Amino acid sequence: MSAKCQKADIRWRLAHAVAHCATNATQIYNEELLMRAAAHLLAVLIVAAADCAVAQEKHLIDPTPPGSLKPEPLPPLQNPDAPSTPAKELFARKSTPFPGPPRSIGGYFDGCLAGAVSLPITGPNWQVMRLSRNRNWGNPQLVRFIERFAENAKKVGWNGLLVGDMSQPRGGPMLSEHRSHQIGLDVDIWFTPMPDHVQSREEREFGSATEVVAPDQLDVDPEVWTHTHAELIRTAAQDPVVTRILVNAAIKKALCREAGADRAWLFKVRPWYGHAEHFHVQIACPAGIAECKSQPPPLPSDGCGQELDFWFKDSTLHPPPTKPKPALTLAGMPPACKQIVKAP
Ligand SMILES: [Zn+2]
């Protein structure tokens, strides 16, 4: 996820508004100034469109594909020290955490993790899925949050959490799916409730996640969606460490409808592409950790009503294919991440 498209959308609207003003002002201001302003606006619009296009591509990605019961280790890299080596190739080859105190370093989209701890694969109220990915690592604060959330979710009638991706042992970018999840402060939770038995490795690897969005993507699927799903998301949003939750826009629409009078938590739940079979929870940087780069909080409005219109436009629901962004390299990450990923 990111706030990027929301920002892009805001930039887009802003640019539209300014462009409109600029057109009205033709008689007043000299032409050259207007031309320059128009060129700048065009650049802003192109950046906004490009940001959204990248994000739209994510909509097509299934974040819960099955893995393997016997995952093969990745082959060694030919030239791991080349500056052009994608950082994801380096971080994906680390199967153990960097020792020492917990440190979430850099931003959710360009950072890494030291002193990670793993979430036990089976807890009283949760089970980790897709074990072959080895992505059940996080800052200890994230692990504490999941334990607490699982217990609170039980109180609102959710049988237990199926936990998807957290972070890799040393955080950083991943070979598949995510751009965030890099500093041990993000977790994906499935919309499928935990079964009553402890699942085998096979079940965790090959079981499929339930989509709660209708095929036309305009609303939740009434056959699958229950009020307990809404209660589950509300419970996560009301935890004080949670800063942002990403769900499909159809789910946000349902939450807006079902929230009732207590709507103070809704601002944390933001619409995003995909997220029809899991939701993404982001927690805040631990207090007093200067090297952890916070994201600006979501806008304080509940995000319901007209704010959702963008997400149900045909061009948003069915975006054209776009080129992927160039891969992140170590040069684009905090210097400490190099030391962390290069250590044995
Ligand atoms: Zn996620």
Q: Tens digit of pLDDT for each residue in 228-286?
A: 999 999 999 999 999 999 999 999 999 999 999 999 999 999 999 999 999 999 999 99
The answer, yes or no, to whether residue 29 has pLDDT greater than 50, is no
What pLDDT score was predicted for residue 288?
84
What pLDDT score was predicted for residue 104?
98
Instruction: Report CA(240)–ligand 1 centroid distance (Å).
Output: 19
Contact between 293 and 107 (Cβ < 8 Å): yes
Question: Which tokens sit at 291?
Answer: 């090297």
pLDDT band at 35 (very low <50, low <70, confident <90, very high): very low
Question: Cα-flanking dihedrals φ and ψ of residue 104, to 5°?
Answer: -100, 110
Contact between 205 and 131 (Cβ < 8 Å): yes
Instruction: Report CA(35)–ligand 1 centroid distance (Å).
Output: 42
Question: Mean pLDDT for the chain?
Answer: 85
The answer, yes or no, to whether residue 290 has pLDDT greater than 70, is yes
pLDDT band at 65 (very low <50, low <70, confident <90, very high): confident
Instruction: Report CA(246)–ligand 1 centroid distance (Å).
Output: 8
Contact between 57 and 324 (Cβ < 8 Å): yes
Instruction: Report CA(16)–ligand 1 centroid distance (Å).
Output: 31
What pLDDT score was predicted for residue 11?
34
Instruction: Report CA(27)–ligand 1 centroid distance (Å).
Output: 50
Least confident of 28-42, 157-171, 183-197, 266-280: 28-42
Place of tokens 């962004």: 325
Distance CA 280, CA 248 (A): 10
Secondary structure, 3-state, the chain: CCCHHHHHHHHHHHHHHHHHHHHHCCCCCCHHHHHHHHHHHHHHHHHHHHHHHHHHHHCCCCCCCCCCCCCCCCCCCCCCCCCCCEHHHHHCCCCCCCCCCCEEEEECCEEEEECCEECCCEECCEEECCHHHCCCEECHHHHHHHHHHHHHHHHCCCCCEEECCCECCCCCCCCCCCCCCCCCCEEEEECCCCCCCCCCHHHHHHCCCCCCECCCCCCECCCCCCHHHHHHHHHHHCCCCEEEEEEEHHHHHHHHHHCCCCCCCHHHEEEECCCCCEEEEEECCCCCCCCECCCCCCCCCCCCHHHHHHHHCHHHHCCCCCCCCCCCEHHHCCHHHHHHHHCC
pLDDT band at 36 (very low <50, low <70, confident <90, very high): very low
Contact between 255 and 237 (Cβ < 8 Å): no
CA 215 remoteness from chain centre: 22
Q: What is the CA radius of gyration of the chain?
A: 21
Place of tokens 């591509």: 57
Residue list, CB under 5 A from ion ligand 1? 188, 280
What pLDDT score was predicted for residue 321?
87
Instruction: Report CA(215)–ligand 1 centroid distance (Å).
Output: 21
Instruction: Report CA(165)–ligand 1 centroid distance (Å).
Output: 7
What pLDDT score was predicted for residue 16?
31
Instruction: Report CA(186)–ligand 1 centroid distance (Å).
Output: 6
pLDDT band at 61 (very low <50, low <70, confident <90, very high): low
Contact between 295 and 282 (Cβ < 8 Å): yes
Instruction: Report CA(25)–ligand 1 centroid distance (Å).
Output: 44
Q: Report the percent of the chain where pLDDT is more than 90.
A: 74
Q: Report the percent of the chain where pLDDT is more than 70.
A: 82
User: Residue 127 burial by CB count (10 A; 0-12/13-18/19+): exposed, middle or buried?
Assistant: buried
69-121 pLDDT, tens digit per residue, is 888 889 999 999 999 999 999 999 999 999 999 999 999 999 999 999 999 99
Distance CA 274, CA 59 (A): 4
The answer, yes or no, to whether residue 305 has pLDDT greater than 50, is yes
Distance CA 78, CA 75 (A): 9
Instruction: Report CA(141)–ligand 1 centroid distance (Å).
Output: 17
Q: Which residue has the higher pLDDT, 62 or 306?
A: 306
Instruction: Report CA(26)–ligand 1 centroid distance (Å).
Output: 46
The answer, yes or no, to whether residue 19 has pLDDT greater than 90, is no
